[in-house]
Protein backbone atom coordinates (compact mmCIF):
# COMPACT_ATOMS: atom_id res chain seq x y z
CA UNK A 1 0.00 0.00 0.00
CA UNK A 2 1.44 3.37 -0.99
CA UNK A 3 2.01 6.06 1.61
CA UNK A 4 -0.75 8.19 0.11
CA UNK A 5 -3.42 5.54 -0.25
CA UNK A 6 -6.29 5.32 2.22
CA UNK A 7 -6.53 1.87 3.77
CA UNK A 8 -10.01 0.47 3.16
CA UNK A 9 -11.09 -1.87 5.93
CA UNK A 10 -13.67 -4.65 5.84
CA UNK A 11 -15.19 -6.08 9.01
CA UNK A 12 -15.87 -9.77 9.55
CA UNK A 13 -18.58 -9.91 12.18
CA UNK A 14 -20.59 -7.31 14.07
CA UNK A 15 -18.75 -7.88 17.34
CA UNK A 16 -19.18 -5.72 20.42
CA UNK A 17 -15.45 -4.98 20.45
CA UNK A 18 -15.44 -3.56 16.92
CA UNK A 19 -16.63 0.02 17.60
CA UNK A 20 -13.99 0.87 20.24
CA UNK A 21 -11.30 -1.36 18.71
CA UNK A 22 -11.56 -0.23 15.11
CA UNK A 23 -14.40 2.06 14.09
CA UNK A 24 -13.58 4.88 16.50
CA UNK A 25 -9.80 4.71 15.84
CA UNK A 26 -10.40 4.66 12.07
CA UNK A 27 -12.44 7.84 12.45
CA UNK A 28 -9.35 9.48 13.94
CA UNK A 29 -6.86 8.26 11.33
CA UNK A 30 -7.01 10.02 7.98
CA UNK A 31 -5.38 7.01 6.28
CA UNK A 32 -8.02 4.50 7.40
CA UNK A 33 -11.64 4.09 6.36
CA UNK A 34 -14.09 1.33 7.30
CA UNK A 35 -15.94 0.60 4.08
CA UNK A 36 -17.73 -2.73 4.48
CA UNK A 37 -19.10 -5.35 6.85
CA UNK A 38 -20.39 -8.92 6.69
CA UNK A 39 -21.99 -10.78 9.58
CA UNK A 40 -23.53 -14.19 10.15
CA UNK A 41 -26.95 -12.61 9.62
CA UNK A 42 -27.32 -9.95 6.93
CA UNK A 43 -29.94 -8.12 8.97
CA UNK A 44 -27.48 -7.75 11.83
CA UNK A 45 -24.81 -6.45 9.47
CA UNK A 46 -27.27 -3.96 8.04
CA UNK A 47 -28.23 -2.66 11.48
CA UNK A 48 -24.56 -2.40 12.48
CA UNK A 49 -23.71 -0.60 9.23
CA UNK A 50 -26.54 1.89 9.73
CA UNK A 51 -25.51 2.63 13.30
CA UNK A 52 -21.86 3.15 12.44
CA UNK A 53 -22.25 4.67 8.96
CA UNK A 54 -20.51 1.83 7.10
CA UNK A 55 -21.19 2.23 3.35
CA UNK A 56 -21.42 -1.38 2.18
CA UNK A 57 -22.95 -4.58 3.54
CA UNK A 58 -22.09 -7.99 2.10
CA UNK A 59 -24.34 -11.03 2.43
CA UNK A 60 -21.49 -13.31 3.49
CA UNK A 61 -17.86 -13.30 4.60
CA UNK A 62 -16.49 -14.62 1.31
CA UNK A 63 -18.11 -11.84 -0.68
CA UNK A 64 -16.47 -9.26 1.56
CA UNK A 65 -12.96 -10.66 1.35
CA UNK A 66 -13.33 -11.01 -2.44
CA UNK A 67 -14.02 -7.27 -2.79
CA UNK A 68 -10.96 -5.90 -4.65
CA UNK A 69 -11.31 -2.50 -2.99
CA UNK A 70 -10.65 -3.82 0.54
CA UNK A 71 -7.05 -3.67 1.77
CA UNK A 72 -7.36 -4.89 5.36
CA UNK A 73 -9.76 -7.39 6.92
CA UNK A 74 -10.54 -7.11 10.63
CA UNK A 75 -11.39 -10.61 11.85
CA UNK A 76 -13.46 -10.24 15.03
CA UNK A 77 -15.29 -13.54 14.62
CA UNK A 78 -15.29 -16.16 17.41
CA UNK A 79 -11.86 -17.70 17.96
CA UNK A 80 -12.96 -20.92 16.25
CA UNK A 81 -13.35 -18.96 13.00
CA UNK A 82 -10.09 -17.01 13.12
CA UNK A 83 -8.04 -19.67 11.37
CA UNK A 84 -10.28 -20.51 8.38
CA UNK A 85 -11.36 -16.97 7.57
CA UNK A 86 -7.92 -15.47 8.05
CA UNK A 87 -6.53 -17.99 5.58
CA UNK A 88 -9.31 -17.17 3.10
CA UNK A 89 -8.68 -13.43 3.49
CA UNK A 90 -4.95 -13.91 2.92
CA UNK A 91 -5.71 -16.00 -0.17
CA UNK A 92 -7.80 -13.09 -1.44
CA UNK A 93 -4.77 -10.83 -1.11
CA UNK A 94 -5.88 -9.01 2.03
CA UNK A 95 -3.88 -8.06 5.07
CA UNK A 96 -5.52 -9.24 8.31
CA UNK A 97 -5.86 -7.76 11.78
CA UNK A 98 -7.11 -10.73 13.79
CA UNK A 99 -8.58 -10.51 17.27
CA UNK A 100 -7.01 -12.42 20.14
CA UNK A 101 -6.60 -15.26 20.73
CA UNK A 102 -5.39 -15.62 17.17
CA UNK A 103 -6.40 -19.29 16.88
CA UNK A 104 -7.48 -22.37 18.81
CA UNK A 105 -3.96 -23.74 19.11
CA UNK A 106 -0.37 -23.22 18.02
CA UNK A 107 -0.77 -25.46 14.96
CA UNK A 108 -3.45 -23.15 13.58
CA UNK A 109 -1.44 -20.09 14.57
CA UNK A 110 1.63 -21.35 12.72
CA UNK A 111 -0.43 -22.14 9.63
CA UNK A 112 -1.79 -18.58 9.65
CA UNK A 113 1.67 -17.04 10.08
CA UNK A 114 3.21 -19.16 7.34
CA UNK A 115 0.28 -18.50 5.02
CA UNK A 116 0.64 -14.75 5.48
CA UNK A 117 4.35 -14.99 4.71
CA UNK A 118 3.76 -17.07 1.59
CA UNK A 119 1.17 -14.59 0.35
CA UNK A 120 3.31 -11.55 1.13
CA UNK A 121 0.67 -10.14 3.45
CA UNK A 122 0.55 -9.04 7.08
CA UNK A 123 -1.30 -11.06 9.71
CA UNK A 124 -1.37 -9.09 12.96
CA UNK A 125 -2.78 -10.27 16.27
CA UNK A 126 -4.78 -7.56 18.03
CA UNK A 127 -3.01 -7.39 21.37
CA UNK A 128 -3.80 -3.68 21.47
CA UNK A 129 -2.22 -2.97 24.88
CA UNK A 130 1.20 -3.78 23.35
CA UNK A 131 1.10 -0.59 21.28
CA UNK A 132 0.48 1.84 24.15
CA UNK A 133 3.26 3.99 25.66
CA UNK A 134 2.49 2.50 29.09
CA UNK A 135 3.80 -0.97 28.26
CA UNK A 136 6.66 0.60 26.33
CA UNK A 137 7.59 2.46 29.52
CA UNK A 138 7.40 -0.73 31.58
CA UNK A 139 9.79 -2.45 29.17
CA UNK A 140 12.10 0.58 29.19
CA UNK A 141 12.23 0.58 33.00
CA UNK A 142 13.00 -3.13 33.09
CA UNK A 143 15.75 -2.80 30.49
CA UNK A 144 17.30 0.15 32.36
CA UNK A 145 17.55 -1.88 35.55
CA UNK A 146 15.17 0.32 37.52
CA UNK A 147 14.29 -2.62 39.78
CA UNK A 148 17.42 -4.68 39.17
CA UNK A 149 17.14 -8.14 37.67
CA UNK A 150 13.63 -9.54 37.47
CA UNK A 151 12.93 -12.30 40.00
CA UNK A 152 9.18 -12.81 39.81
CA UNK A 153 6.15 -11.64 37.78
CA UNK A 154 2.41 -11.94 38.28
CA UNK A 155 -0.35 -11.11 35.82
CA UNK A 156 -4.05 -11.26 36.70
CA UNK A 157 -7.13 -10.54 34.61
CA UNK A 158 -10.53 -11.30 36.12
CA UNK A 159 -13.90 -10.15 34.75
CA UNK A 160 -17.38 -11.24 35.80
CA UNK A 161 -19.27 -12.78 32.87
CA UNK A 162 -22.70 -13.63 34.18
CA UNK A 163 -24.43 -14.59 30.94
CA UNK A 164 -23.66 -18.27 30.47
CA UNK A 165 -25.02 -18.11 26.90
CA UNK A 166 -22.08 -15.83 26.03
CA UNK A 167 -19.69 -17.31 23.45
CA UNK A 168 -17.00 -17.41 26.14
CA UNK A 169 -18.95 -20.23 27.77
CA UNK A 170 -19.06 -22.21 24.51
CA UNK A 171 -16.14 -24.59 24.04
CA UNK A 172 -16.78 -25.14 20.34
CA UNK A 173 -16.39 -21.42 19.65
CA UNK A 174 -13.07 -21.18 21.49
CA UNK A 175 -14.48 -20.11 24.83
CA UNK A 176 -12.85 -20.18 28.24
CA UNK A 177 -11.29 -17.80 30.73
CA UNK A 178 -7.75 -18.54 29.56
CA UNK A 179 -8.52 -18.02 25.90
CA UNK A 180 -10.48 -14.80 26.34
CA UNK A 181 -8.89 -13.23 29.43
CA UNK A 182 -5.78 -15.15 30.41
CA UNK A 183 -4.19 -14.75 27.00
CA UNK A 184 -3.37 -11.19 28.13
CA UNK A 185 -1.43 -12.01 31.34
CA UNK A 186 0.40 -14.72 29.42
CA UNK A 187 1.36 -12.11 26.83
CA UNK A 188 2.28 -9.53 29.50
CA UNK A 189 4.77 -11.86 31.16
CA UNK A 190 6.27 -13.05 27.88
CA UNK A 191 6.60 -9.45 26.69
CA UNK A 192 8.26 -8.24 29.89
CA UNK A 193 10.74 -11.11 29.92
CA UNK A 194 11.40 -11.15 26.18
CA UNK A 195 11.59 -14.92 26.28
CA UNK A 196 9.40 -18.00 26.45
CA UNK A 197 8.35 -19.64 29.73
CA UNK A 198 8.11 -23.22 30.85
CA UNK A 199 4.81 -24.10 32.51
CA UNK A 200 5.50 -25.59 35.95
CA UNK A 201 1.92 -26.22 37.08
CA UNK A 202 -1.66 -25.12 36.52
CA UNK A 203 -5.14 -25.70 37.89
CA UNK A 204 -8.59 -24.80 36.63
CA UNK A 205 -12.27 -24.81 37.49
CA UNK A 206 -14.43 -25.92 34.58
CA UNK A 207 -18.07 -26.22 33.61
CA UNK A 208 -19.67 -29.58 32.83
CA UNK A 209 -19.00 -28.88 29.16
CA UNK A 210 -15.27 -28.44 29.76
CA UNK A 211 -15.03 -24.64 29.62
CA UNK A 212 -12.54 -23.19 32.08
CA UNK A 213 -14.26 -20.59 34.27
CA UNK A 214 -10.99 -19.85 36.04
CA UNK A 215 -7.38 -20.91 35.65
CA UNK A 216 -4.12 -20.31 37.48
CA UNK A 217 -0.68 -21.25 36.29
CA UNK A 218 2.97 -21.07 37.31
CA UNK A 219 5.81 -20.29 34.91
CA UNK A 220 9.57 -20.61 35.05
CA UNK A 221 11.78 -18.46 32.87
CA UNK A 222 15.54 -18.61 32.33
CA UNK A 223 17.84 -18.10 35.32
CA UNK A 224 15.15 -19.20 37.76
CA UNK A 225 12.76 -16.30 37.24
CA UNK A 226 9.27 -17.33 38.34
CA UNK A 227 5.91 -16.14 37.09
CA UNK A 228 2.22 -16.61 37.75
CA UNK A 229 -0.87 -15.94 35.67
CA UNK A 230 -4.48 -16.06 36.80
CA UNK A 231 -7.80 -15.41 35.12
CA UNK A 232 -11.45 -15.85 35.98
CA UNK A 233 -14.79 -15.09 34.38
CA UNK A 234 -16.89 -16.45 37.26
CA UNK A 235 -20.19 -14.58 37.67
CA UNK A 236 -19.26 -13.44 41.19
CA UNK A 237 -15.74 -12.40 40.18
CA UNK A 238 -14.54 -8.89 40.99
CA UNK A 239 -12.69 -6.99 38.25
CA UNK A 240 -8.91 -7.32 38.52
CA UNK A 241 -6.43 -6.23 35.85
CA UNK A 242 -2.89 -6.01 37.17
CA UNK A 243 0.78 -6.74 36.55
CA UNK A 244 3.35 -7.00 39.35
CA UNK A 245 7.09 -7.44 38.90
CA UNK A 246 9.63 -8.08 41.66
CA UNK A 247 13.30 -7.40 41.06
CA UNK A 248 16.56 -7.72 42.97
CA UNK A 249 16.55 -3.98 43.69
CA UNK A 250 12.88 -3.05 43.79
CA UNK A 251 9.41 -3.70 42.41
CA UNK A 252 6.93 -2.43 39.84
CA UNK A 253 3.13 -2.45 40.04
CA UNK A 254 0.88 -1.72 37.07
CA UNK A 255 -2.84 -1.33 37.63
CA UNK A 256 -4.77 -1.66 34.36
CA UNK A 257 -2.02 -2.42 31.82
CA UNK A 258 -4.77 -3.55 29.44
CA UNK A 259 -6.71 -0.35 28.74
CA UNK A 260 -4.78 2.49 30.40
CA UNK A 261 -6.89 5.06 28.56
CA UNK A 262 -9.54 4.34 31.21
CA UNK A 263 -7.11 5.11 34.02
CA UNK A 264 -3.98 3.36 35.23
CA UNK A 265 -1.25 3.47 37.84
CA UNK A 266 2.41 2.61 37.32
CA UNK A 267 4.39 2.56 40.56
CA UNK A 268 8.09 1.84 40.89
CA UNK A 269 9.71 1.23 44.26
CA UNK A 270 13.49 1.02 44.60
CA UNK A 271 16.36 2.47 46.64
CA UNK A 272 15.42 5.95 45.42
CA UNK A 273 11.96 5.65 46.95
CA UNK A 274 8.47 5.21 45.58
CA UNK A 275 7.49 6.91 42.32
CA UNK A 276 4.21 7.02 40.44
CA UNK A 277 5.10 7.35 36.78
CA UNK A 278 2.86 8.93 34.14
CA UNK A 279 3.02 8.52 30.38
CA UNK A 280 1.20 10.37 27.64
CA UNK A 281 -0.98 8.26 25.39
CA UNK A 282 -4.27 7.83 23.63
CA UNK A 283 -6.47 4.77 23.33
CA UNK A 284 -4.60 1.48 23.02
CA UNK A 285 -6.78 0.77 19.98
CA UNK A 286 -5.78 4.06 18.37
CA UNK A 287 -2.11 3.30 18.86
CA UNK A 288 -2.69 -0.19 17.44
CA UNK A 289 -4.47 0.99 14.30
CA UNK A 290 -1.89 3.73 13.72
CA UNK A 291 0.83 1.06 13.92
CA UNK A 292 -1.07 -1.21 11.53
CA UNK A 293 -1.46 1.58 8.98
CA UNK A 294 2.25 2.38 9.30
CA UNK A 295 3.09 -1.26 8.61
CA UNK A 296 0.90 -1.28 5.51
CA UNK A 297 2.78 1.81 4.35
CA UNK A 298 6.12 0.10 4.86
CA UNK A 299 6.99 1.83 8.12
CA UNK A 300 7.70 0.43 11.58
CA UNK A 301 8.22 -3.13 12.84
CA UNK A 302 5.51 -5.70 13.50
CA UNK A 303 5.39 -6.56 17.22
CA UNK A 304 2.29 -8.78 17.47
CA UNK A 305 1.86 -11.71 15.12
CA UNK A 306 4.49 -13.98 13.62
CA UNK A 307 6.39 -16.13 16.11
CA UNK A 308 4.93 -14.07 18.96
CA UNK A 309 1.39 -15.29 18.36
CA UNK A 310 2.56 -18.87 17.83
CA UNK A 311 4.46 -18.80 21.12
CA UNK A 312 1.55 -17.26 23.01
CA UNK A 313 -0.73 -20.04 21.81
CA UNK A 314 1.92 -22.61 22.77
CA UNK A 315 1.99 -21.23 26.33
CA UNK A 316 -1.82 -21.37 26.48
CA UNK A 317 -1.77 -24.98 25.29
CA UNK A 318 0.80 -25.87 27.96
CA UNK A 319 -1.31 -24.27 30.68
CA UNK A 320 -4.38 -26.24 29.59
CA UNK A 321 -2.35 -29.43 29.50
CA UNK A 322 -0.90 -28.85 32.96
CA UNK A 323 -4.37 -28.06 34.34
CA UNK A 324 -5.85 -31.21 32.83
CA UNK A 325 -8.24 -29.26 30.63
CA UNK A 326 -8.74 -30.80 27.16
CA UNK A 327 -7.39 -28.58 24.40
CA UNK A 328 -9.33 -27.61 21.34
CA UNK A 329 -7.54 -30.14 19.15
CA UNK A 330 -7.80 -33.01 21.66
pLDDT, tens digit, 9 for 90 and up, residues 52-109 = 999 999 999 999 999 999 999 999 999 999 999 999 999 999 999 999 999 999 999 9
User: What number does CATH give the domain 7-127?
Assistant: 3.40.50.720
Smallest Cα–Cα separation from 126: which of 108, 105, 99?
99
> What is residue 58's three-state secondary structure?
strand
Provide mean pLDDT across the span 110-135.
98
* Torsion angle in degrees (nearest 10) through CA of 133, 30, 122, 329: 70
pTM of the complete model:
0.96
Q: What is the pLDDT of residues 188-236, one digit of tens each?
A: 999 999 999 999 999 999 999 999 999 999 999 999 999 999 999 999 9
CA separation (Å) from 134 to 100, 130, 181, 197? 20, 9, 19, 23
Task: Indicate the fold that domain 129-286+312-323 takes in CATH.
Answer: Dihydrodipicolinate Reductase; domain 2 (3.30.360)
CA–CA dist 133, 280 (Å, integer): 7
Q: Do domains 7-127 and 129-286+312-323 have the same CATH topology?
A: no
Q: What is the pLDDT of residue 327?
A: 78
Which uninterrupted H or E stretch holds 199? strand 198-206
pLDDT score recorded for residue 328: 75
For the chain, the structural domain boundaries read: 7-127, 129-286+312-323
What is the predicted pLDDT for the residue at 5? Answer: 86
Residue 269, classed as helix, strand or coil, is strand
- % residues pLDDT > 70 (the chain): 98
**Residues 9, 66 contacting (CB under 8 angstroms):** no
Amino acid sequence: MSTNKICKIGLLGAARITPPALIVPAGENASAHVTAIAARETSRAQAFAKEHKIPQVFDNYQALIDDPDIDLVYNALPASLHHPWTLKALDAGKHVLCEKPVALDSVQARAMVEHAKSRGRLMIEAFHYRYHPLIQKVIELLESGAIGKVKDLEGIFNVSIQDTSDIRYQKALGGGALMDLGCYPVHWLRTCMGEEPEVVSASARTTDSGVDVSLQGEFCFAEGVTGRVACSMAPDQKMVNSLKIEGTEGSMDVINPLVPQHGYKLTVQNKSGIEDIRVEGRSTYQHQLDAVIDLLQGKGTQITGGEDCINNMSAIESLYRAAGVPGFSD
